[in-house]
Chains A and B, each alone.
Chain A
Amino acid sequence: MSIREKARQLFAEGVDGVLAFKRTDGVCIPHLFTKTEVEEICKDVPADQRYPVAGIVRRIFLSGLAGKIGVVARGCDERALIELGKQGQIDFDLLSIIGVACSEEQARYCECSKPYPSRIDVGSRFEGISVSEKVRAVESMEGDERLAYWLAQFASCLKCMGCRNICPVCYCVECSLEDENLVRRGSVPPDWPVFHLLRAVDMASRCIDCGLCEESCPSGIPLRTLYKKATEIVKELFDYEPGADMTQRSPLGTIGDQSELPGGAFEA
């Protein structure tokens, strides 16, 4: 089934709009289509262009538009939508997902562990990469070597905020990265470790591993490797995976019970 056909079907079922792609000057860009525009919907998903779809959905809801919408979503987009739904940023129940499976090539490039959404409408399923070679490569370094590696990487940060701005699960109105008490104003590169590890700490229980931050970074800093590790840590400690499941509670979003604390809370 093509995306356009699927969108037609959703409109027949009563959605008010469909967030899909529109070809403009040879480039596919996200667009919220109404029923009358359905013929303009790109049949396919742009292979190598990705967008923070969930972030766009959040802004659609923020703009006050109330209604049901269909959303073309890859695996990571769906995870971001689930995460945003859990955090009360969007109403997940108002969404109908048009699921797109990523190509093997895309999945390998992303080292994506689940390159498909829960239901696939377009594309065929590739199982995904369970172990990130990039994370393992950093882990295999000695402590000092790792420090030198990250220091060198972050030395080229321009503090453009691109990584934060594109992140579909970053939505705070007041951002700690802009808090002068934490990160000094007017210095580039920004203070390390506070700037980057602050973000890593926050992403540990939220990052859905879309990799858009790294792709948008003008300095090519391997941010995804850092956040992949951060989420691995949370997975290991709390068996929690951001965006995996609407019913799983975030360990940092809820206080929980003593029995849920990882072992050794008493000797800590």
Chain B
Amino acid sequence: MMSEARGSSVKIPDDVRIVAFLCNWCSYAGADLAGVSRMQYPPNVVGIRVMCTATVSPYHVLKALQMGADGVLIAGCHIGDCHYLKGNYMTYKRYLILREILRFAGINEKRVRLEWISAAEGEKFAEVIRSFTEEVREAGLSPLRKNEVIKSEFGEKLKNAFRSLEVVK
């Protein structure tokens, strides 16, 4: 939904760019709710719907950073509420490791964040997006931006790159 809404017509040249992997069963719905209740969140987010945060490999986070994302958010069901019971255990473990590896590699680990946001927590979703955007702005534009592969519209690139993850069109 979000990725469609922020199509190629929106130009965001100087602001930070954030990729948000949203679990279909909770945060994606939470994002919807945030939109429906007309809560404001910055227009610099590309949302990617996944069927569970466990499907978000650290590879995908690295790839997003590689492609010039300034921040990567993973948002899923609270521990205990994962639709696949324990999928988010893996997400959590991988995230903890990835953050530390990023730090050691000299990439500000604050660029990557994991949050648990249920379907009912539209407000929390908006708040997380807002505070994360702030945090990433503080970290500044990613030093990896020069790595950008294709110079075209950010959202388009990501959609293509993550095509394999788009379960529902």
Contacts and interface: CB of A to CB of B under 8 A. Distances in A.
A127 B144 CA distance: 41
A205 B161 CA distance: 27
A38 B62 CA distance: 50
B145 interface: no
Interface of B: 58-59, 62-63, 65-66, 78-80, 86, 89-90, 92-98, 100-108, 114-116, 143-144, 147, 149, 161, 164
A158 interface: no
Contact of A233 (B92, B101, B107, B115): B101
B106 A147 contact: yes
Most buried by A among B59, B86, B106, B107: B106
A146 B108 CA distance: 10
B150 to A, nearest CB: 10
A252 B93 contact: yes
Contact of B59 (A141, A143, A198): A198
A198 B115 CA distance: 22
Given A197-B62, A201-B62, A184 B149 contact: yes
Contacts of B80: 258
Contacts of B102: 193, 197
Given A143-B106, A181-B161, A191-B147, A233 B65 contact: no
Interface residues of A, number: 43
Interface string A238-268: 1000000000000110011010011001101
28 contacts: A141-B106, A143-B106, A145-B106, A146-B104, A150-B106, A181-B161, A191-B66, A191-B147, A191-B149, A192-B144, A193-B66, A193-B107, A194-B65, A198-B58, A200-B101, A201-B58, A204-B97, A226-B104, A230-B104, A233-B97, A237-B97, A237-B100, A252-B94, A262-B93, A266-B79, A266-B116, A268-B115, A268-B116
Given A143-B108, A146-B104, A266-B116, A193 B144 contact: yes
A139 interface: yes
A148 interface: yes
Most buried by B among A151, A181, A237, A256: A181
Contact of B95 (A145, A194, A268): A268
A25 interface: no
Nearest to A138: B104
A87 interface: no
